[in-house]
A = this chain, B = another copy of it.
């Protein structure tokens, strides 16, 4: 199954998710739908809702309550993007001006808070304890991951294990929760729930690894895409962690200086890219990604064959190619 077929087969379902997303943005404060639409209409690929829908279907779910749940997950994700963009002082998001640039930090922070609250408000009204258990754990873990990442800014001593822990918290926890919610709403047995949760966790880690690899990809750079964002933000990601391990004393000392310093000069950026290319930091990260994708796919072994299962496998493969 090709990824294009996956999107096509879920076109109608994703339209229902969009309808939920739009409906519940209504507020006494018109700024909320204004900022919300900007980001939510800004071309996100809805990977989390997609995974939730597929997870429910792979468990044989036939109802329609998963649309709202998928919308809730997207609200939480969008809230975190709004806050991330303030934290990172971002200028662009999904190919357009970021909300903090258009409406200012204040609106981004407060509308982000609204989306978080509204997501939990809607979830509470599903009257399902298990849903709330999963969602509230995921958002707490996610926010801890964000704080962990902040604390590691410029920390060139971060180990690969610590880095994997950070991305598990900040990215994989919510993706995994989306997958688990699909099984809960389908009333799947515990073993199936755990398998799908593991799938989401591994796919989530892979998702972030690819993101971090692409940020140092020479090919992306040649194509004129924005790269080196993590470097500018002082985020130490796997391509660099690997390179720091591999590099000689002199090289490593200069890398450390660059990352401790912030505001690197153009020749510093050039040097970082060169080091990562020489030490194959991107290739190493892609290899690790493959490992997580393999683990994710293996988690699905206990599922009966179905179009939804095939779609989940296709999504896994596609993450590696990543134009999601």
Known: A118-B140, A136-B121, A140-B117. A146 touches B110 (CB 8 A): yes
**23 A-B residue pairings within 8 Å (CB atoms):** A27-B147, A28-B144, A29-B147, A31-B147, A32-B147, A83-B113, A86-B105, A86-B109, A87-B109, A87-B110, A110-B143, A110-B146, A114-B146, A116-B116, A117-B136, A117-B143, A121-B136, A121-B139, A124-B129, A124-B133, A124-B136, A125-B133, A132-B132
Let me know if B140 and A132 touch, CB within 8 A. Answer: no
In the bound assembly, the distance between CA atoms of A165 and B28 in angstroms comes to 10
A111 interface residue (CB < 8 Å to B): yes
Chain A positions 273 through 304: 1 when the CB is less than 8 Å from some CB of chain B, otherwise 0: 00000000000000000000000000000000
Chain B residues positioned under 8 Å from A148 (CB to CB): 28-29
Is the Cβ of B105 less than 8 Å from the Cβ of A147? no
Bound-state Cα–Cα, A107 to B150, Å: 7
Q: Is A266 interfacial (CB 8 A cutoff)?
A: no
Q: Which residues of B contact A190 (CB under 8 A)?
A: none
| Cβ proximity bits A60-95 to B, threshold 8 Å, 1 near / 0 not | 000000000000000000001001001100000000
With a cutoff of 8 Å between Cβ atoms, the chain B residues found around residue A132 in the complex are 124, 132
Interface residue? A261 (CB, 8 A): no
A192 to B133, CA, bound (A): 30
A247 to B143, CA, bound (A): 49
Interface residues in A121-169 by Cβ distance below 8 A to B read 121, 123-125, 127, 129, 132-133, 136-137, 139-140, 142-144, 146-148, 150-151, 165, 169
Contact check, A121 vs B140: say whether CB atoms are below 8 A apart.
yes
Main secondary structure of the interface of A (DSSP, over half): helix
Note all chain B residues with C-beta closer than 8 A to A23. Answer: none
For residue A28, which residues in chain B have a CB less than 8 angstroms away from its CB? 144, 148, 165, 169
Kindly state the separation between the CA atoms of A146 and B29 in the bound complex, as whole angstroms: 9
Within the complex, the shortest CB–CB distance from A105 to chain B, in Å, comes to: 7
B29-A151 in contact (CB<8A): yes
A4 at the B interface (CB under 8 A):
no
Name, among A86, A125, A143, A144, the residue most crowded by chain B CB atoms within 10 Å (CB to CB).
Answer: A143
Query: Which of A118, A144, A165 is most buried by chain B, counting CB atoms within 10 A of its CB?
Result: A144
| B114 near A147: Cβ-Cβ < 8 Å | yes
Contact of A117 among B107, B114, B139 (CB under 8 A): B139
Q: Which of A234-265 contact B (CB under 8 A)?
A: none
